[in-house]
Structure 1
Amino acid sequence: MKNIKRSLIALFAMLAISCNVEDVQDRPVIEGVDSPVLTAPTSGAAYVLKPENAAAQAERFTWKSANFSGDVQITYSVEIDKKGNEFKTPQVIGSVVSENQVSVTVETMNKAALALKATPFAPAEYEARVSAVTGNMAPMYSNVIGLVLTPYTTENPKLWVPGGYAAASGYPKDWDPASSPQLSASGFGKVDFEGYVNFAGAGEYKFTSFPEWKGEFGEGATAGTLDPKGANLKMTAAGYYRIEVDTEKLTYKTTATSWGIVGDATPGAWDNSTAMTYDAAAKVWKITVDLVGGKEMKFRANNNWDVNMGDTGANGSLEYGGDNIKVATAGNYTITLDLSSPRNYKYTVTKN
């Protein structure tokens, strides 16, 4: 009986081995044979992307199928990267399974360009390719084509204020647009720029339309005017300046400001501002003061009402001429005023 059992076990083992060998021999070998071939668009295609067309198709990418020597499911992805970057930071703008085309919207293409640090409204060169992947195999890549993209932004336009004053005034570097303080327009497509910049002393500066030396504005022929080819602008005295620029009229205005709090909750009531102190490292105005409960306050510049800010909506954001800020209970408070982010002015009132 034992011999019969041993024989049966041996027989089943041989059958199992035989079946496994046959399965392996019959199984198709999956390997990359032919890469996909990108057939559209043609190299050099240019796209001026616009926000009003965000949902529209920017391009339909098409390609010839990859060959993995078998009937397998293939995932295709269209990638773009900056020209010359060798796809070290590719952005995927479309992906499909076992198909030979993908439609890419204006918005998708624009987001990819911005993710690659594109400068809005400025054309730049990119490269595109298609990757093909199946299972755990390494991807195969198509031919590479060149594209020219002009992306957009719906954010408020900005101006940068680089100059020789910066390092001494609490900003990272002199004459470095990327790290310099900014001015902001009132909305998308607007040309009225505003912001606040600290000057620790007299100094020279310019305006740039980008965080680099492009779209410059310098001194115009007469006071208060700008010229794209003009010399450096000059700030003649130290101060914390409100700067206003109109890039269409090519004019600018600087107003030295010294900020304080005012209101029946403050020591000076509604007649006299209680002065705040500017902290260049933190880039905020500060004061520690006793406030009266159940009363109100505002921020104002230069101890007059020409420039004042309140909080319409009681949401921590400030607006010119906004509503009075209510002080619920009496006590000693630390108050900050942050004007470092143009047109996004904030404050805090913290009881000590």
Structure 2
Amino acid sequence: MKNIVKSLLAVTLITGFASCTDEQDLKFLDNAAEFKILSPVSGEGVVLNPETPTNPGLSMTWEEMDYGTPTEVTYTIQVDKSGDDFDSPIDLVSTTNNYVTVTSDALNGASSAAGLTPFTQGGLEIRVRSTVGTTGSEEKFSDVITYLVTPYSTDLPKLAVPGNHQGWNPPTAPRIASSAFGETDYEGYIWLDGGFKFVAPDPAGNFNWGNTDYGDDGSFSGVLAESGESDITATAGYYRVRANTSTLLYTIEPTTWGIVGAATPGGWDNSTALTYNSSTKKWEGAISLSAGEFKFRANNAWSINLGGDPDEDGSMNYDGPNLSVAAAGTYNVVLDLSNPRQYAYSVTLQ
């Protein structure tokens, strides 16, 4: 009799264990896809454009999640890079509707945060998370779709320029920038004093030793070498620094800056010198100006000069249109070349 009871107990325990296991499995499967995304479908995508940031980048609809009681449901769109299995999901937007439109700018930011490469199509996995109540309880998830996104970047690619001028520390080194994404014609203005090199960023955008770096090829004739053993050298001064990582050529040109034009004491023939401020990294001067036009130029010559910004890209243009002041007076004149390819100026009446 005891053996029969034991057998029945064992069968009951095994059956109960199996039932629990089945319930857990079913619950896991239910949580993985409690409701469905209706649109878009996997494989659809978008090419984002920086010129239309408010255009729709993603329009979604999904089934409503039924919790069995009349309660308000909050839906959160979550995204992650394809293959990352939502190990660090990004919350894109929340709503109480079962539809949403996300702007191109917002989708681009999320795509970049997820690790997609600018101007290259990449997969973005998307799911909808539903919750109820103010505490966000009863978490449920939709199925997952893959949305093909080609993001953009408005940041210019850069190289760090570590060297004797700043303690050979790439993370804090000044930068030079290319003219556009995908271009390799880097330029910037830097105070140099001794040896230096160029360091490229790693895939995450960090500048450190161990990344690709460039030095002189040993001929000291303006030729770069990847992982070059020779430092590039410069005597103390302020330089226009250019490097091309495709042609493997570089130039460093010493510059001193001034203001020139009908509004200046020297007219259009002689620059009025500005003084470099090592603390602000700007060229500055208190100058008596007349009402009229002016420009900035280097080395009291016209080979390097900066004027207005007709293309409205946020930077003064080489050989750009003349600038002007409307009234005579003493002005605090500032030329800021510290941000590569984002050159700016100000003239403030004192």
TM-score (norm 2): 0.67
Change (3 A) 1:123 1:198: farther
- Find the counterpart in structure 2 of residue 18 from structure 1: none
The one-letter amino acid paired with 2:299 is N
CA distance in 1, matches of 2:309, 2:142: 57
Q: Is the 8 A contact 2:259 2:296 kept in 1?
A: yes
- Find the counterpart in structure 2 of residue 6 from structure 1: none
The one-letter amino acid paired with 1:181 is P
Q: Is the 8 A contact 2:163 2:194 kept in 1?
A: no
The one-letter amino acid paired with 1:216 is T
Work out which of the residue numbers 179, 182, 187 in structure 2 matches 1:186: 179
C-alpha offsets along residues 204-259 of structure 1, whole Å, 9 cap, x if unaligned?
22131443348634025353233333346423211211122223322222111111
Work out which of the residue numbers 98, 109, 112 in structure 2 matches 1:111: 109
C-alpha offsets along residues 66-123 of structure 1, whole Å, 9 cap, x if unaligned?
5634354533323136869965x83226767458xx8989875432132467764799
CA distance in 1, matches of 2:161, 2:146: 32
Q: Is the 8 A contact 1:276 1:285 kept in 2?
A: yes
Unaligned runs of 5+ in 1: 1-31, 169-173
Change (3 A) 1:59 1:295: closer
Shift of 1:153: 2.6
Change (3 A) 1:197 1:107: same
Note the aligned Cα RMSD (angstroms).
Answer: 4.6
- Find the counterpart in structure 2 of residue 76 from structure 1: 75
| Partner SS, residue 112 of structure 1 | helix
- Find the counterpart in structure 2 of residue 309 from structure 1: 306
| Partner SS, residue 130 of structure 2 | strand
Equivalent positions of 1:237-316 (< 5 A) are 237-291=235-289, 293-311=290-308
- Find the counterpart in structure 1 of residue 159 from structure 2: 160
Segment drifting more, 78-87 vs 210-219: 78-87
Segment drifting more, 326-335 vs 139-148: 139-148
Change (3 A) 1:109 1:330: closer
| Partner SS, residue 236 of structure 1 | strand
Shift of 1:300: 0.9
Q: Is the 8 A contact 2:34 2:140 kept in 1?
A: no
Residues paired across the two proteins, number: 306
Q: Is the 8 A contact 1:276 1:286 kept in 2?
A: yes
- Find the counterpart in structure 2 of residue 211 from structure 1: 206
C-alpha offsets along residues 10-65 of structure 1, whole Å, 9 cap, x if unaligned?
xxxxxxxxxxxxxxxxxxxxxx9964527999xxx9999854799898898978x7
C-alpha offsets along residues 260-289 of structure 1, whole Å, 9 cap, x if unaligned?
122243233333222211112212100112
Q: Is the 8 A contact 1:259 1:299 kept in 2?
A: yes
| Partner SS, residue 266 of structure 1 | coil
* Higher Rg: 1
Unaligned runs of 5+ in 2: 1-26
Change (3 A) 1:281 1:127: farther
Shift of 1:133: 1.8
C-alpha offsets along residues 169-213 of structure 1, whole Å, 9 cap, x if unaligned?
xxxxx4234x433323323443322221222x2132213144334
CA distance in 1, matches of 2:188, 2:345: 16
Indicate the percent of aligned positions where both proteins have the same amino acid: 30
